[in-house]
Amino acid sequence: MSFHRAFQFSWAAVLLAFCSIAIRAQELPDFTGLVERSAPAVVKVSTKRGAGAADSTAQSEEVPEIFRRFFGPNAPAPQSRAPATAVGSGFIISADGYVLTNNHVVEGADTITVRLRDRRELKATVVGRDPQTDVALLKVEGRDLPTLPLGDSKLLKPGQWVVAIGSPFGLDYTVTAGIVSAVGRSADARQRYVPFIQTDVAVNQGNSGGPLLNIRGEVVGINSQIFSTTGGYMGVSFAIPIETARSVADQLRDGGRVRRGSIGVNIQEVDGALAEALRLPSASGALVQRVVPDSAAAKAGVREGDVIVEFNGETVVEWQQLPPMVGAQKPGARAELVVVREGRTLRLPVIVDELQEEASLASTGAQATDQDAAAVDAQSSALGLTVTDPDAETRKRLGLGNEGVVVSKVSGAEARESGINVGDVILMVAGARADSLATFDRAARGAAIDRPVMLLVARGEVRRFVALRREAQVR
């Protein structure tokens, strides 16, 4: 190739590269106008806790920093007796001074100060807080305050641009942008009524409570959490959908508390083995572990072992989707459940109850030792378990009625991998109540070898279904 042709080729390549860059630049949004319009309604929230109060917001070195909540850089360790300060963010939603932020930003605060973009500082009072959603509603005295319009978080789709404005590390009015990574995430077991928005927008300590905006400048979420193993941003952040926050704020303002719907079931994931055992076409839906007596679900005819695949017209793909769907309903509302039971699809009308203060689902710690479980009638099953028909004293100690057999030995590899322990109580096997050792063993031996058997296992107050395959060598 001659020098002249090589020169022409190189300039052509350079020109093509510049054109490509120019085209990409035109495709990228310019957030300048959005920020100029939105920033005046974003506030910095500073809190103080009195001397002698332990700061529950600081993080212990021993606690894994997963789904960590963020506060300002001055938060002391829990054992500190000095006055504690924290910094978060928020935004004004009404011209007369209502402000939305996170509950964890203001929880336990003695004084709350809100600072506006024009440097005004206003004292704030807490109208109400809701730990279940991590939303707090504040009120400052003012008139004609700048506000942010609230958008529709239900319209969000993965890949859309979003912008965060807040005070990370106390750096006021920091702007970061990214895309929606996913919607309807279950990011925190403590907030199972929140279908989180996942983004890759950079947020850090101090961003808590600040707005997540769409490209029209509408609030679509409240920045709340990050996934981190270091305490800093690692590319995954979560926001509370504004639909959830708006409902909470309205209830806090009007009645001082939040009322949520409940149907009275405990649920779990449907994994591949359980789907095979239940003869489901796919591993989706919410598997009912327990139906609370006299609850809405009980009155509607829901049974343990049913798989809820739809609630009020919305498909339940992941089991964590169901609590936010139900919680968003007003108590007394009529809804419809679609459940799969033994291969049949049933439509069950239900009248939603009001969610009451929930008892802890943590294990009570009541586990039988090998000696405790060495009751009479111990027998090996075809599922790699040895179970006992508990005597009256054991039934009383474990809170059993006329149902359940106690695991005294775990011998099968699959049973061990499933997490079943000695002292666990088997309540159901293959869809039948395990009301005695004989019924348990009969159901286990009668199970097909080519398909898993579903068991309902209880440990203290916690229940879960597991699927085990019958061991062919057992006769």
Q: How far is CA 220 from the centre of its chain?
A: 18
Tokens coding 352: 């939603």
Q: Rounded to whole angstroms, how far apart are CA atoms 420 and 418?
A: 6
3-state secondary structure of 34: helix
| Cα 70 to Cα 16, 166, 169, 188, 192, distances in angstroms | 45, 12, 9, 14, 19
Q: Rounded to whole angstroms, how far apart are CA atoms 465 and 458?
A: 9
Tokens coding 159: 């890949």
CA terminus-to-terminus distance, the chain? 82
- Structure-token match 């169901």, residue found: 322
The Cβ-side half-sphere exposure at 140, using a 13 Å CA radius, reads 31
Q: Rounded to whole angstroms, how far apart are CA atoms 340 and 310?
A: 10
- Structure-token match 């600040």, residue found: 210
Radius of gyration of the chain (CA): 28
Q: Rounded to whole angstroms, how far apart are CA atoms 90 and 100?
A: 6
Tokens coding 89: 């963010």
Q: Of the candidates 236, 218, 300, which has an alpha carbon nearest to the alpha carbon of residue 262?
A: 300
**Identity of residue 254:** D
Q: How far is CA 188 from the centre of its chain?
A: 4
Q: How crowded is residue 457: how many other Cβ atoms within 10 Å of its Cβ?
A: 23
- Structure-token match 């605060």, residue found: 109
Give me the active site residues, please. 104, 134, 208
Burial 375-411 (b: 16+ CB within 10 A, else e): beebebbbbbbbbbbbeeebbeebebeebbbbbbbbe
Q: Of the candidates 193, 191, 186, which has an alpha carbon nearest to the alpha carbon of residue 259?
A: 193
